Structure 1
Amino acid sequence: MNTTEITLTDLVATLRECAGEEESVDLDGAIDDRTFADLGYDSIALLETHARLADRHDLTLDDSELAELHTPAELLRYLNGVLAKGA
């Protein structure tokens, strides 16, 4: 897939595909700065999400950098930065 930006909507859809959604968490709300742990996603769910997004958008991601990203906003900044470098 050739895109110019990965959106929060794209990320939420991928999170739901890879790991579902906690009943107590509203992913349609303002989640940008909530931690993935607060949203109910563990490291395995995030690894699957990262892999799926990398595959879908033809990205090469640095696992050590991904481990330091704790919120959707941080992850989107990183992913879109990688995407911009490849464009």
Structure 2
Amino acid sequence: MSNTLSYPELAVLLQSRAGVTVDPGDLARPGAEFDTFGVDSLGLLGVVGELENRHGLKVTSGAESAKTPAEFLELVNSSLATKAGA
């Protein structure tokens, strides 16, 4: 995994940690919301936990409450960028 999280990587994580299969293209669609795909905050918490374990960082608070994939990626990638700059 690179220093940024992409929609395809998020789709893989959603399947493995939240048990939801989503096409990366659907995640990237403007206006897409996690509710539409059946992903709740508990599912996102599993994804956040996996990312924190992989990267050894604390993901920005609130990522598990993100309403959209774009918002989630922005929060996670901000955390990854902060770690890379440290």
Structure 1, unmatched stretches of 5+, are: none
Structure 2, unmatched stretches of 5+, are: none
What TM-score results when the alignment is normalised by the length of structure 2? 0.78
Q: Give the partner amino acid of 1:55.
A: N
Mapped to 1, the partners of 2:6 and 2:56 lie a distance apart of 16
Match of 2:20 in 1: 21
Structure number with greater CO (CA < 8 Å, separation at least 6) is: 1
What TM-score results when the alignment is normalised by the length of structure 1? 0.77
Match of 2:35 in 1: 37
Mapped to 1, the partners of 2:3 and 2:12 lie a distance apart of 17
Q: Percent same amino acid at aligned positions?
A: 30
Q: Is 1:85 the equivalent of 2:79? A: no
Kindly indicate which of the two structures has a greater share of residues assigned to helix.
2
Q: How far apart are residue 29 of structure 1 and its match?
A: 2.8
SS in 2 for 1:30: helix
Match of 1:8 in 2: 7
Mapped to 1, the partners of 2:3 and 2:44 lie a distance apart of 22
The number of residue pairs the alignment matches comes to 82
Mapped to 2, the partners of 1:6 and 1:49 lie a distance apart of 11
Mapped to 1, the partners of 2:82 and 2:24 lie a distance apart of 29
Q: How far apart are residue 78 of structure 1 and its match?
A: 0.9
Q: How far apart are residue 35 of structure 1 and its match?
A: 1.0
